[in-house]
Amino acid sequence: MRMTEFTEQVSAVSELSPAGELRTVVSPQCVVQENEPLSRRTTLRVGGSADLWVEPATEPDLIAMLQWAGDRGMPVMLLGRGSNLLVRDGGIRGMVICLCQPHFARVEVEGCRVRCGAGARLKAVSNEARNHELAGLEFLEGIPGSVGGALRMNAGAHAGSIFDAVVEVRLLDLHGRVQVMSGAGMEAGYRSCPMLRTHVAVEAVLEGRPEARAAIEQRMKEFNHKRWSSQPAAPSAGCVFKNPDSIPAGRLVEELGLKGARVGGARVSMEHGNFIVTEAGSTAAEVLTLINRIREKARSERGIELETEVQIVGEEADQP
């Protein structure tokens, strides 16, 4: 190759946008977009945009994306179904990875075990387990997240948490190196799995126990009824605060007289004190102001330090 040709090629590559550049190293089935609004990717429906939004089609694509970002010192974040996230109004700098393509959404039953991609919906996992007469995963039924998000949060309901059922998890570190860890080895705690702050979950194997389908179905119905008679249907991110040792956070908010409290289009739900719901046009700043108001009142009136369960990410919007 002549030197001028080489120079022309190099300058053609460097003139590509980050999305254009990334597209040259992954398969054409991947989604790669710039400035993706995250309000439509999160259940709270507020917040700014991701600089770079990617949906890898396969694990090698995911590895290539992690390495590409690592080579550029670009921050990386995972987003599942966005049901536990509050994205600030200035959005997210760097790459946001969503494992929503079919390769990552597989749910396969092998005996008493359910192998699920990190992008699989929790509802699909509990339905598939029920269809194969496997009990123990029905508590996942009404949690509107993905397996990856549930592992990161050790999501739970009705006295069960996902790590009660995890046999092993397939992980990638931020350089794309694969590792398989036992569920116990990941040391998950109450609504947290610290290891997944620095690793990407790509697959999990969960274990159920044999039981008749009718009994499992009955429990799923009961759980569903209990959930929808106590939580709002308006946009939210589920429980905002972790429960302190002394009192459930929802009851504390109610006792503080804050049910129905409002900042702009963000409001504490009347149905459940630990939910903040939003109206169309709300901002993340309004939700954050309401969260801070609740925390201040809990501290000053009850001496309780509330910790958020919702993951708060991204940058503040620039002041006008």
Ligand X SMILES: Cc1cc2nc3c(=O)[nH]c(=O)nc-3n(C[C@H](O)[C@H](O)[C@H](O)COP(=O)(O)OP(=O)(O)OC[C@H]3O[C@@H](n4cnc5c(N)ncnc54)[C@H](O)[C@@H]3O)c2cc1C
Q: Is 146 near ligand X (CB under 6 A)?
A: yes
Q: How many residues bind ligand X (CB under 6 A)?
A: 32
Cα–Cα distance for residue pair 76/94, rounded to 1 Å: 6
For residue 54, state whether it binds ligand X (rule: CB under 6 A). no
Please provide the DSSP assignment of 144-205 as one string. -SBHHHHHHHT-EETTEEGGGTEEEEEEEETT--EEEEETGGG--BTTB-GGGGSEEEEEEE
- Minimum CB distance to ligand X, residue 203 (Å): 9
Q: Does 236 bind ligand X (CB under 6 A)?
A: yes
Between CA 81 and CA 145 the distance in angstroms is 5
Q: Which of 149, 208, 250, 314 binds ligand X (CB under 6 A)?
A: 149
User: Of 149 and 176, which CB lies nearer to ligand X in the complex structure?
Assistant: 149
Tell me the window of 14-22, 109-117, 194-202, 261-269 that interacts with ligand X (CB under 6 A).
194-202
Shortest reach from residue 73's CB to ligand X, in Å: 19
Which residues, numbered 108-137, are part of the site for ligand X (CB under 6 A)? 118
Closest approach of ligand X to the CB of residue 45, in Å: 11
Contact 36, 19 (CB under 8 A): no
Residue pair 34/51 in contact by the 8 Å Cβ criterion:
yes
Q: How far is the CB of 171 from ligand X (least distance, A)?
A: 8
Q: Which residues contact 10 (CB under 8 A, 6 or more apart)?
A: none
Q: Tell me the C-alpha distance between 38 and 97, whole Å.
A: 12
Interface residues with ligand X (CB under 6 A)? Answer: 43, 77-85, 99, 118, 143-146, 148-150, 152-153, 155-157, 196, 200-201, 231, 236-238, 311
